[in-house]
Amino acid sequence: MREKKAITPGKVIAELSFGFWTSLLDSRFEKTLWKNLRLSFPNCPKKLRQRKTMSSKFKGIRKFRKRIFHHESVSWNYSALTNYRDEIIEGIDWLDKELLNWSEELFKTDSIIEKHKEIIG
């Protein structure tokens, strides 16, 4: 028998996919959601804090993440890999500086890129 667990707002939010969250930045929500969603990026410079900018950044990150999770080739280009890393770091920073500080311990991209730099090119 399945264990019955309480459905809480936190559990519902945790179950939503990254695709769901990035889709909230689509142009179709510009007039209905963007005014409030823009407040989710308190560390983004105001001049960059546009729905279009956020949508582009987070969809790029989602595409990169999807390729990794589906074991697809990511890139054999050192510059592209470091650009992806920088985009992710900037996106996290725009959301929450404390989250960025916490997540830096999880980033292993630099050591992995350095270790395989000769085959990346």
Q: Quick one: how far is CA 15 from the chain centroid? A: 16
The per-residue pLDDT for range 49-66, each reduced to its tens digit, is: 999 999 999 999 999 888
Number of domains in the chain: 1
Q: For residue 1, tell me if it sits in a domain.
A: no
Tell me the mean pLDDT in the region 86-97: 93
Considering the chain, what is the average pLDDT of its residues? 88
Report yes or no: 103 and 60 within 8 Å, Cβ to Cβ: no
**Whole-angstrom distance, CA of residue 34 vs CA of residue 52:** 10
Best CA proximity match to 84, nearest among 97, 67, 106: 67
Whole domain around residue 87: which residue ranges? 9-120
Structure-model confidence comparison of residues 50 and 104, the more confident one: 50
Q: For residue 88, tell me if it sits in a domain.
A: yes
One-letter amino acid identity for 49?
R
Q: For residue 4, tell me if it sits in a domain.
A: no
The per-residue pLDDT for range 21-53, each reduced to its tens digit, is: 999 999 999 999 999 999 999 999 999 999 999
For residue 1, the model assigns a pLDDT of: 53
pTM over 0.85, yes/no: no
For residue 46, the model assigns a pLDDT of: 93
Structure-model confidence comparison of residues 66 and 105, the more confident one: 66
* pLDDT surpassing 60 at residue 92: yes
